[in-house]
Amino acid sequence: MTPKEIEDFRLRVNVGNGKVVELSMEELKNFPKTEFVVTLQCSGNRRAGFNDVARTSGTGWYQGAISTAKWGGVRLRDILQHCGIGEEEYDAHANSHVEFSSMDDFQVSIGFTKAFEKSGDVLIAYEMNGETLPRDHGFPLRAIVPGYIGVRNCKWLKEISVNPEQADSPYQRGLNYKILPPGVMDAKGVDLSKFPSMYEASVFSGITQANLDLDSHSVVVKGWAWAGGGRNVARVDVTLDNGQTWTPANIEQGGDQPFGKAWAWVFWSVKVPISDSTSNEPITVASKAVDVAYNSQPEDCRHMWNLRGLSNNTWFRFKVDR
C-alpha cells in the first residue's frame, strides 16, 4: 500500500442494525495500545505424520507451521464498545459471531464471547515485535485470537461484522477446518454442518535438538510445547524407550505465564540417561506435553487420522544416531 492508500484506508466495523463505523489507522492508534506474546500454529502442522498412515489433502508440514511473536494493537473489545456495543448488550449478543473479512476475500469468524470478553485478549494488531506489521503477516491490520488455530487470525483485515451466525465461507463451514472420523476417506455426501469448526487448539510439543552426551551416556533434548485455549503447559515428558520410562523436562522459558492466559509456547530441556549404551542402533526420542486440564498427547495418529490432516498432536519423535 502506498502512503496515500494507508491514509485513505478505513476499517469497517458493522455492529448490526444498519450501524457501520469506519476507523482510520490514526484513529485506531489513538485507542489504548495493548501487547501480547502469542503463538500461532497452522492446524495442518505435522500433517506429514498423518500421511504416513494414509494420504491427506494439504501441505505435508513437519513441525515448521508454528511461530511466536509479540503483537501490538487495539483490543477488539475496545473497538466494539466504541462502535456501540456495551456491557448491557452482552447477553443479547452472547450467541452471536464476530466475522473478520480480508482484502483478499477471505472470511472467518469467532464467537462473540471470545471477541468481547476482556479475558479473551483478542487484538486488532498493527505491530509485530515492536515494528509495523509486515506485509506477509497481514499489513496493515491483522486479527490476533490467542489460543485459537492459525486460520482464525485473519490477515489483511478490512472489515469486522457482528452477525447472528458464523461466517459463510469454506474456511469456516467447509471441510478445510473440520475434523472428520478416521474411517471417512471421502467427504462426498458428508453433511459437514454436523461437524463443528475448529477454534481452540489442542496440546502439542516438538523437539528442536537431541544430542548425544557420550561422557554421561545420555541424550540432551530441547524443544517447545504449547496448548490452545490459554491452558498452561503443566509438564513435558521425554522417553527414549517408546514410553516404557519417562523423564520430566525442565521448563526453562514461558512457564510463568498467567493461569489460563498462556498464549505463548514454552521452551524446555532435559538430559535423559541411555539404558543401553552398548548398542549402535539409532535412538528414538519422543516428547509428550500435558496441559493444566491434564490433556495429554496421544501415542500415535492411527486413531486420529482425518481426511484433511488436521491437529496431529501425537508424541513428537526424533531420531538420534549413535
Domain with residue 290: its CATH number is: 2.60.40.650
Band of the pLDDT at 291, cuts 50, 70, 90? very high
At 3 the pLDDT is: 78
Whether 278 has a pLDDT exceeding 70, the answer reads: no
Band of the pLDDT at 58, cuts 50, 70, 90? confident
**What is the sign of the dihedral through the CA atoms of 68, 72, 75 and 76?**
negative
At 169 the pLDDT is: 96
Q: 194, 212, 237 — which closes off a domain?
A: 194
**How far separated are the first and last CA of the chain, in Å rounded?**
53
Whether 277 has a pLDDT exceeding 80, the answer reads: no
153 contacts 145 by C-beta, under 8 angstroms: yes
Band of the pLDDT at 17, cuts 50, 70, 90? confident
At 51 the pLDDT is: 93
Average pLDDT of 56-79?
95
- pTM here is 0.95
Whether 181 has a pLDDT exceeding 90, the answer reads: yes
Say whether both 124 and 207 belong to one domain.
no
Say whether both 42 and 169 belong to one domain.
yes
Say whether both 112 and 261 belong to one domain.
no
Q: 166, 194, 222 — which closes off a domain?
A: 194
The tens digit of pLDDT for each residue in 138-155 reads 999 999 999 999 999 999
What backbone phi and psi angles, to 5 degrees, belong to 251?
Answer: -85, 115
Query: How many other C-beta atoms lie within 10 A of the C-beta of residue 322?
Result: 13
Band of the pLDDT at 25, cuts 50, 70, 90? very high
Cell readout for 95 is 450467541
At 48 the pLDDT is: 94
Distance CA 236, CA 138 (A): 33
Residue with cell string 467447509: 174
Say whether both 125 and 209 belong to one domain.
no
Rg, Å, the chain Cα set? 22
Cell readout for 267 is 521452551
Alpha helix stretches (DSSP H) within the chain:
3-8, 25-29, 47-51, 76-82, 90-93, 112-116
Say whether both 175 and 223 belong to one domain.
no
Say whether both 282 and 222 belong to one domain.
yes
Q: Give CA angle at 255 (284, 72), nearest 5°.
A: 110
At 144 the pLDDT is: 98
Say whether both 242 and 268 belong to one domain.
yes
Say whether both 111 and 244 belong to one domain.
no
Say whether both 8 and 84 belong to one domain.
yes
Number of domains in the chain: 2
Q: Which domain holds residue 222?
A: 203-320
